Chains A and B, each alone.
Chain A
């Protein structure tokens, strides 16, 4: 059992949130950790360290609503190049974003020129309201990067979206090429990362390799 204030529990929670954002986030849904309720750690010999977490999350678009989940994060022993295994179970239903997703999709498809934006939020923390869905898609993209690149000795947060460029496609997906700045807490470095995200209202998001 770990005190939720212990840094190793907090690091595992950040991985779980990144993974969940990748899986369930979208232009109309941004999930943020409100509280880490409980954390346990299990050392599995020859395998690695597994964390069992109870998390309370909130949807930033609907802050009065919270959702509880449980997560398991397994950091593999020794093999630093493999991503942690994560499983998350959300209790109850997440608010539907069908309308907002459709609106966003239609808006982007209707643009004559590809969308380009920088510095989200800006130096003063501002995000223009029309760019908030892009901001949330950056959470999805960075969620993937954070999940894939975390170890027990790192804790990543999205510091800023430095640049985003939409790329028009011949299929029905939307494509956004991001340059995100990730803040790594342990080394305190702020690192730029390029990540391309494909998104579709029904099919969801995936990072393209």
Chain B
């Protein structure tokens, strides 16, 4: 009878150990024929000391019941089922074997990933990107990974420093991903980092550049937003900071710089995608860069990557007047656009932010320009709207390669 069997099971408690592995655990599939059998299984289910783990709980006769049984109870449960005439089959003979195989597969896959090169032609998670930064820093003596601050959600802001020597050499700044949904920018920045690191010593231009100047590259300027685009909303643009008094989250980090802050082209509404924030530099992601650049004191160029629209822009955005260096910046911009076009025919429009895209206050290159960094350019990479933010991964490498030619042209000018 049931009572007798329950007592038998009860006696087994003493014998059960607290195991962390699943050696000898079996998973059975039980086929019930009627309500009576379902009730039997529900009774079994209620015996907590058996530590039966129902993957599909008993509910109706027509539905199978899957249950994981700890090793010590396997024999008894089977005896019980057989005595009641309840049909079952063995889905998994030994669960630990299955888990071991799965772990082995995963380890092999991870091993393949580690020893083979990083796939620059694919989109990656923040963790994978950070791992690659470590890899580059360890691979090349003149590449160093430094942390310039932390995001709102306490993620490190990692910058790659390319320096072949000297002391506080004149430097170039390059950032990507300040707007997190612009995925081709973080991806391109990684490729560019690898390109510069691997071609130093063989490519004349890169070699003479790094022999005279330092390069600082921030591939993921908005890591909180970037993670959010992976986990929750692919179209997220802003930071993830909380605004007191509002249910809406985030500040547009490219309206938060101290250049015409709060002026036209930025919203005072926290729910807007171009919300400028409560004050200039309120966003730690922005402040960290500002402080780093000010403390360094010797930056000559400030370059930032966005997508999409295929534009190459220089200041100003917060006002529609030309910068003092208009002629030189326009000419250099055109030369860079020409270099970009030379590879695949991709055309970039050149001009001030205000004339080319819209008036927008609080932008990064306006700040850098007004703080003495003459060569301040903002790139909007591929495409022009066909895929927009969702640029197919197959276009990452062509985009990175052509963009690099434009950046190189500018850097060469700065160097000379």
Contact = CB atoms under 8 A, between A and B. Distances in A.
B357 A187 contact: no
Contacts of B387: 121, 125
20 contacts: A3-B351, A5-B349, A5-B351, A6-B355, A6-B356, A35-B347, A121-B390, A123-B123, A123-B230, A124-B123, A125-B395, A157-B385, A159-B235, A160-B235, A181-B235, A183-B389, A185-B358, A187-B274, A188-B273, A190-B237
Interface string B348-391: 01110001111000000000000000000000000011111111
Given A123-B234, A124-B122, 6 more contacts: A3-B351, A5-B349, A7-B357, A124-B123, A125-B390, A187-B267
Contacts of A122: 390
Contact of A189 (B122, B230, B272, B391): B272
Contact of B237 (A7, A157, A158, A188): A188
Nearest to A32: B386
A153 to B, nearest CB: 9
A181 B387 CA distance: 12
Contacts of B274: 187-188
Contact of B390 (A3, A6, A123, A187): A123
A160 B355 CA distance: 28
Interface in A118-168: 121-126, 157-160
Contacts, number: 75
Contact of B388 (A123, A124, A183): A183
A190 B350 CA distance: 25
B358 A186 contact: yes
A157 B388 contact: yes
B252 interface: yes
A7 B351 CA distance: 10
A67 interface: no
B273 A121 contact: no
A153 B357 CA distance: 11
Interface string B386-409: 111111111100000000000000
Contacts of A185: 309, 357-358
Contacts of B385: 14, 32-33, 157-158
Interface in B147-187: none
Main secondary structure of the interface of B (DSSP, over half): loop
A5 B350 contact: yes
Interface string B262-274: 0000010000111
A5 B273 contact: no
A60 interface: yes
Interface residues of A, number: 28
Contacts of A125: 387, 390-395
Nearest to B122: A124
A160 B123 CA distance: 18
Contacts of B237: 188, 190
B136 to A, nearest CB: 23
A98 to B, nearest CB: 24
A121 B385 CA distance: 13
Nearest to A188: B273
Given A5-B351, A33-B384, A121-B387, A188 B392 contact: no
Contact of A7 (B122, B252, B356): B356
Nearest 8 A/B pairs, CB to CB: A125-B392, A5-B349, A157-B385, A188-B273, A190-B235, A125-B390, A121-B390, A123-B234
A188 B122 CA distance: 26
B235 A124 contact: no
Nearest to A160: B390
A62 B386 CA distance: 15
A60 B235 contact: no
A33 to B, nearest CB: 7
Contacts of A187: 267, 272-274
A60 B383 CA distance: 14
A159 B358 contact: no
